[in-house]
A = this chain, B = another copy of it.
Amino acid sequence: MVAKVEIIFNCQKLITFGFMIKISILGNGNVAFHLYQAFADINEIEIVQVYSRNKTNLFPNHLLIHHFSDLIEADIFIIAVSDDAIEELSNKIPFENKLIVHTAGSISLKKINSKNSRGVFYPLQTFSKDKSIDFCNIPICIEAENEKDATVLVKLANYISENVHVISEKQREKLHLSAVFVCNFVNHLYHIGALICESNSLPFDILQPLIQETSDKILHLHPSQAQTGPAIRNDQKTINLHLSQLISNDHQNIYKLLTYSIQNVNKL
């Protein structure tokens, strides 16, 4: 049985290869799953195989392989596995002169075995298997060793996204770093908010309109202009009150450090 997630997909396909392009996806995680879902609907793309070490119901059975000995040729192999597994997996691909890309934010394309052409196909997004996603606006960051490969990867990306960028390795690393701040760390602050609410018999949901408005606001205002709260007002009375109310040492330290940083960045 194949897992079903509704796909919102309405990109205009402006560029075509003029022929069918054959891709295979190596990996069975969130990125592999969402890339599969996005490419599966494109007429000009044939998904040849999906390699998964373990059993999975995320992909159609007729595409799934579990051994590299079953891997057949394709034009592009997309390695969508954890950072540490990329190098070893690329060594196992039994072909040469194909285009092999990984999807990681902070791994050099040089980790891919050099017997093939190498590139990066990095979708800058957070993926969960149980949440559908509109690929159309997801920035896809492309890196390649030569212009020809970059052009091919941009074309491939344009089938599923209108937000495609060719960037350098350094830029990709910095994007990944920024993503940790605006996604992973932001989610942790949501979690702290939830913990404070829930330990005071308040549902986390009461914070939702504020959370949604905070992210909505920066669609129109640069975050430097959108900053509010006791830190930017230098409201020491409220800051002290808040610090006295925080039970967790971690939360106290985070409050102090972020308050200091807000006040500091404003002096720049």
Interfacial residues, chain A to chain B (CB-CB below 8 A): 83-84, 106, 124-126, 128, 131, 133, 137-139, 163, 165, 167, 170-171, 173-197, 200-202, 204, 206-215, 217-224, 226-232, 235, 237-238, 241-242, 245-246, 250-251, 253-255, 257-258, 260-262, 264-265
Contacts and interface: CB of A to CB of B under 8 A. Distances in A.
A84 B204 CA distance: 29
A242 B175 contact: no
Given A190-B223, A209-B125, A222-B194, A174 B230 contact: no
Chain A interface SS verdict (over half): helix
B189 A185 contact: yes
A181 B184 CA distance: 14
A184 B229 contact: yes
Given A183-B214, A188-B227, A209-B125, A202 B220 contact: no
B184 A138 contact: no
Contact of A255 (B170, B180, B192): B180
Nearest to A239: B180
